[in-house]
Amino acid sequence: MLKEFTLKTDQEGLYNITARVGETVRESGVKDGIAVVWCPHTTGGITVNENADDSVRGDLLLGLDRAFPDRPEFRHAEGNSAAHLKSSCVGVNQTIIIEKGKLLLGTWQGIYFCEFDGPRQRKFFVKVMGGLKHES
C-alpha cells in the first residue's frame, strides 16, 4: 500500500507525522512488516526523534544551523545550499518496523517531516509492506 500526504509548512521546522504514518499502517491491515516514509524534496527530510519535549526539535534545528551555516562561497543560485546540506545529512527516508500491526517506535520516538526551507507546500509518501498475519 502506498499513500501520499500533503503538508503545508509555515517555516523551517520539524513537523510530527507519526499519527498519519500509524493510520496508514492500520488501514493497510499489515501486522508484520515495514513502513517506509519518503520525502521527495531536496530541502526536506524525514527523521525519528523525541516526541515528548518540544524543545528538542528546536535544539536539533539550532545544531543543524551550527553544523551547516550559510556560506558566502556557496554557488547555488537559489541561495538555499544550507537547506540542501541538511537534507542530505538527515536523509529523505526512514524505515520503521511494524510488529503486531503497530509501528515499533520507542516510547519517546516520533516521526518528523523536516522542513529546512519553508514556507512550502510539501508532500511525503508512506509505503507499507508485509504480511496480514503476525509471524512470531
Minimum Å gap between C-beta 121 and Zn ion is 16
**Measured from the CB atom, is 78 or 99 closer to Zn ion?**
78
Residues contacting residue 124 through CB under 8 Å, at least 6 positions apart:
4, 5, 7, 17, 37, 38, 39, 40, 44, 46, 113
**Measured from the CB atom, is 84 or 123 closer to Zn ion?**
84
Q: Which residue is nearest to Zn ion (CB)?
A: 78
**Measured from the CB atom, is 28 or 117 closer to Zn ion?**
117
Residues 6-65 that bind Zn ion (CB under 5 A): none
Residue 81: phi and psi, rounded to 5, are -60, -35
Amino acid at 1: M
Q: Containing H/E element for 59?
A: helix 55-67
**DSSP annotation of 134:** -
Q: Establish if 78 lies at the interface with Zn ion (CB under 5 A).
A: yes
Minimum Å gap between C-beta 80 and Zn ion is 4
Residue 33: phi and psi, rounded to 5, are 180, -145
Q: Which of 110, 124, 111, 109 is nearest to 44 (CA)?
A: 124
Q: Establish if 80 lies at the interface with Zn ion (CB under 5 A).
A: yes
Q: Which of the stretches 49-57, 62-70, 74-82, 104-112 binds Zn ion when contact is defined by CB under 5 A?
A: 74-82
**Measured from the CB atom, is 11 or 136 closer to Zn ion?**
11
Q: Establish if 74 lies at the interface with Zn ion (CB under 5 A).
A: no
Q: Establish if 70 lies at the interface with Zn ion (CB under 5 A).
A: no
Q: Using CB under 5 A, list all residues that contact Zn ion.
A: 78, 80
